[in-house]
């Protein structure tokens, strides 16, 4: 996971000049420290949620709710690296996104479903032609297809292909059983996206 630029947060660090100190200050109730975390990490969180939803209004709502929950849960945070805090935010945001869709009575899948277990792991789970999506039209087609996926699938694709996280990092971020389970689930998500792109006419089916 790549490091986060924390120039805003750094301005509020005390003499020991560490990210751990900033987290500890926020945990102790220092609102300036938490505001620094918000300003530093909000853009990355918003990008992740937008790639999973394509809805700016929903992203604003989810980002605000994510930081509210993060503020409440912050005293329980025990890892003080920037990457760990980002994973902490991603996990909360992904859960809120799934809760949002469940509240609208849309079908979703959970860690208890067969989605995560008992399916073979492919040799290569990155099977879609993401190269060549520079044009606005093709990017829009991809966006529309992702919008039709189950929220768990959209989250997986966002983490794997936009955030460039490995299966191991995704398993840690989403508290999933294993990297192998993530690869299997991501493979199924990519298959679903592949079918949607075929329907949109993005690329032709291979003749059999």
Give the range of the structural domain holding residue 166, as residue numbers without chain letter: 110-208
For all residues of the chain together, what is the average pLDDT? 77
Q: What is the secondary structure of 113-174 as a DSSP string?
A: STTTSSSPPPS-S--S--TT--SHHHHHHHHHHHHTS-HHHHHHHIIIIIS---HHHHHHHH
In a domain, 28, yes or no: yes
Tell me: do 134 and 198 sit in the same domain: yes
pLDDT bin (cut points 50, 70, 90) of residue 14 is: very low
Among candidate residues 68, 103, 138, the one where a domain is terminated: 103
Q: Residue 17: its pLDDT value, please?
A: 60
In a domain, 2, yes or no: no
Tell me: do 171 and 114 sit in the same domain: yes
Q: Residue 120: its pLDDT value, please?
A: 36
CA atoms of 85 and 29, how far apart (whole Å)? 17
Among candidate residues 65, 85, 103, the one where a domain is terminated: 103
Tell me: do 99 and 117 sit in the same domain: no
In this predicted model, what pLDDT tens digit does every residue of 128-161 receive, in sequence order? 444 454 556 666 777 778 888 899 999 999 999 8
Q: Residue 198: its pLDDT value, please?
A: 81
Alpha carbon 1 to its chain centroid, in Å, reads 12
Tell me: do 163 and 118 sit in the same domain: yes
């Amino acid at each position: 996971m790549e490091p986060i630029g924390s120039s805003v947060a750094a301005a509020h660090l005390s003499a020991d000049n560490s990210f751990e100190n900033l987290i500890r200050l926020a945990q102790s109730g220092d609102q300036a420290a938490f505001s620094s975390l918000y300003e530093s990490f909000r853009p990355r969180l918003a990008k992740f949620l937008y790639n999973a939803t394509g809805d700016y209004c929903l992203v604003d709502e989810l980002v605000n709710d994510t930081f509210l929950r993060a503020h409440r849960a912050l005293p329980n945070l025990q890892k003080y690296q920037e990457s760990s805090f980002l994973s902490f935010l991603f996990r909360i945001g992904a859960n809120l996104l799934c809760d949002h869709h469940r509240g609208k009575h849309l079908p979703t899948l959970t860690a208890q479903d067969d989605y995560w277990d008992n399916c073979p792991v492919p040799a290569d789970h990155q099977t879609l032609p993401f190269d060549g999506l520079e044009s606005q039209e093709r990017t829009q087609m991809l966006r529309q297809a992702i919008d039709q996926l189950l929220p768990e699938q959209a989250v997986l694709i966002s983490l794997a292909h936009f955030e460039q996280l490995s299966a191991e990092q995704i398993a840690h971020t989403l508290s999933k059983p294993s990297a192998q389970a993530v690869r299997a689930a991501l493979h199924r998500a990519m298959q679903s996206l592949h079918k949607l792109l075929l329907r949109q006419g993005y690329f032709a089916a291979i003749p059999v």
